[in-house]
Chains A and B, each alone.
Chain A
Amino acid sequence: MTSTAVIDKSAPTRTVKLRSMSRDRTWALRWSYFFLTLFAIFALIPPLYMLITSLKTSAEISAATNPWWVYHPTLSNYVELLTSNQFLTFFRNSALVSIFVVTITMLISVPAAFALARMRFWGSATLATGVFLTYLIPETLLFLPLFKMFVVFGDMTGIQLINKWYVLLIVYPTLTVPFCTWIMIGYFASIPKELDEAAIIDGASWFQTLTRIFIPVALPGLIAATIFAFTVSWAQFLYPLVFTTSTDQLVLPVGIITTLIKGDVFAWGQIMTGALLGAAPPLIIYAFLMDYYIAGLTAGATKG
């Protein structure tokens, strides 16, 4: 008897409580869906418009019809770009620059971050802050002095780097290295101190501690930094615009602008196609690495 009474008493209160909690949750979910949808529409309209325009002929683009509909879909823009040697050169230059920059950045940032995060040496804290401050100086301020430096360097040594695609391999890391180092310092700092002490006692050198403990454990951070470095070098516009001029040395963003805009004639269909094709590699990389990135984050890799 007593036990049933207890159940009778507690049952309603419990359900009421649960229901009120789930009602709260329902509303929270509704609001999040509402704003997420709003944001998705806002973010996806430009690429959609690009896609629509890329499927049109120039005649249809300039015709006074509904701009949101393709009446005579065509792949001619794609065919033209993908068969043009120029566009493929831009693509190749962009790919080479990005891959090399990512590699150079990681080769510098990861050991630098490890040293700054773990090897206490004189001035390491100041240096770490200094690295971050470097990142705060905008490129619009840097490109003129940098350009001048390469001119002076060229005059002094006779090695002409300006207007060569590989000059960007020297220029881009000024943006990517400080930021990636900063990200990696954060990730490395979150690894418990005992982990490297255990490794050191187990007989690992600093280098082995870095490669066999720190890099695997901080892999999500490493991937985040890689994605960042890739995106920055792939999408960089100002520096290649300044440092490269010959058509065969251009990277994609600058190439599209300089070759597809002839005077005041805009080849909109091809510009949109080029931009879409240019957006594909970062998209693919995000798609592949994001899963891994999130999996790494949720696994709590640094929890001993």
Chain B
Amino acid sequence: MADVTLRKVVKRYDEVEAVRGIDLDIADHEFVVLVGPSGCGKSTTLRMIAGLEDITDGDIMIGGDVVNDVPPKDRDIAMVFQNYALYPHMTVAENMSFGLRLKRYPKAEIKTRVDEAARMLDIVELVDRKPKQLSGGQRQRVAMGRAIVRNPKVFLFDEPLSNLDAKLRVQMRIEIKKVHQKVRTTTVYVTHDQIEAMTLADRVVVMNNGRIEQVGTPNELYHKPATRFVAGFIGSPAMNFMTCKLEDVGGKMHIRLTDSIIFPLPPARAERYKTISRTDKLLLGIRPEHITEASPHPEPGVEPFDVVLDVIEPMGMETMIYFIMEGAEICGRVNPNADARAGAPMRLAMDLNNMHLLNEASGAVI
């Protein structure tokens, strides 16, 4: 087991820069998820750690040793691929033991390790089957088993759950988390699914355009996003953004959303935003759960406003509502018992204690 360090890592394909100078420290035993839209460089980064791609510039260290020019087999890593990449002509046990057999481990030791991994992954009765006789979820378990038996310094996962159906994905997610709690191997996990990232990670690395947007625990990213990209990417349904202005009314700072909607800012927020120029173009970012039905006894900082609902989506435990404000579609979450009907007016409340203010030009959260 070991820590992984990336220093100014760059990957260039001819003229295209896929990864543009990444710095990242992954601690021993840590579960780090790289998340971002397709083409953001997350898979390339993982493949560079694996040694499947050369590094154009920078350094990658595993357990303190620079491994830039170390071939994959000598990096002591194991990787789980999106399409499982099981050897089709070998049984499950042979698949899992392939790496150990190449390294000429004693037969007894191989058997012990394979049995142990099979028990951990609940695939004991499948060890004599061929991959084509397995379901998708079982194949993914075998692929994980192949990684576990090697007892490597680092696990690398490249979108391992993308080929599974939604239900199985949730199940396997839990499975992966359980495995990590048992073996505690340093793990780097790539996905485009932010829910997977949030649920699995000790720390999430949000990537965009070959750069790291923000690194943090799932809660930090959710509650304190640093950029508009992170704010919009993490959370489902996504955070709402609406143009706004700061105005001073009667000596107190207010935020104006439309000609008719203007809210006083809670004192803590007013303090934080006091240096912002009143003429700056700003965006208000607010998550759907902070737009709810208005209550007769509102908390401080929760401001009521009236809208006409566009669409409603009852989900059972809550109802998603959609309305248009200044041309932008805004999503809110209301109690299923609230009287929300499409096309009807409704009194809502916005919780400004949980608002985010962004600079529209730079996308930075203030």
Q: Which residues of A contact B (CB under 8 A)?
A: 192, 194-195, 197-205, 208, 212-213, 216-217, 219, 299-304
Contact = CB atoms under 8 A, between A and B. Distances in A.
Contacts of A299: 132
A213 B99 CA distance: 12
A200 B52 contact: yes
B32 interface: no
26 contacts: A192-B83, A195-B87, A197-B72, A197-B81, A198-B79, A198-B81, A198-B87, A200-B52, A200-B73, A201-B50, A201-B51, A201-B78, A202-B73, A202-B99, A202-B102, A202-B150, A203-B99, A208-B102, A212-B98, A217-B87, A219-B89, A301-B88, A301-B89, A304-B83, A304-B84, A304-B86
Contact of A194 (B71, B72, B81, B131): B81
Contacts of B73: 200-205
A110 B79 CA distance: 28
A219 B51 CA distance: 29
Interface in B141-184: 146, 150
A197 B102 contact: no
B276 interface: no
A197 B52 contact: yes
B150 A195 contact: no
B274 interface: no
B85 A202 contact: no
Interface in B23-45: none
B184 to A, nearest CB: 20
Contact of A201 (B79, B87, B88, B132): B79
Contacts of A304: 83-86, 88, 131, 139
Interface of B: 50-52, 71-73, 77-79, 81-89, 98-99, 102-103, 131-132, 139, 146, 150
A133 to B, nearest CB: 28
A268 B79 CA distance: 67
A195 B131 CA distance: 13
A216 B89 contact: yes
B81 to A, nearest CB: 4
B72 A200 contact: yes
| Most chain B C-beta atoms within 10 Å of own C-beta, residue among A202, A301, A303 | A202
A197 to B, nearest CB: 5
A204 B77 contact: no
Contacts of A213: 87
Contacts, number: 71
B132 A197 contact: no
B94 to A, nearest CB: 10
Given A194-B81, A195-B85, A197-B85, 18 more contacts: A194-B83, A195-B87, A197-B72, A198-B87, A200-B71, A201-B50, A201-B77, A201-B78, A201-B79, A203-B102, A204-B98, A204-B102, A205-B73, A217-B89, A219-B89, A301-B88, A304-B84, A304-B139
B315 to A, nearest CB: 32
Contacts of A212: 98
A195 B82 CA distance: 11
B88 A303 contact: yes
Contacts of B103: 203
A200 B47 CA distance: 12
A300 B150 contact: no
Nearest to A302: B88
Contacts of A301: 88-89
| Most chain B C-beta atoms within 10 Å of own C-beta, residue among A203, A299, A303 | A203
A259 to B, nearest CB: 47
B82 to A, nearest CB: 8
A303 B51 CA distance: 25
Contacts of B98: 199, 202, 204, 212
Contacts of B78: 201
A190 B20 CA distance: 32
B70 to A, nearest CB: 12
A201 B84 contact: no
A198 B96 CA distance: 11
Contact of B85 (A194, A216, A300): A194
Name the 6 nearest CB pairs between A and B, nearest first: A194-B85, A202-B99, A203-B73, A198-B85, A216-B89, A194-B81
Contacts of A195: 85, 87
Contacts of A197: 50, 52, 72, 79, 81, 85
Given A192-B83, A194-B81, A208-B102, A202 B88 contact: no
A200 B51 CA distance: 10
Contacts of B51: 201
Nearest to B73: A203
A200 to B, nearest CB: 5
Contacts of A202: 73, 98-99, 102, 146, 150
Nearest to A194: B85
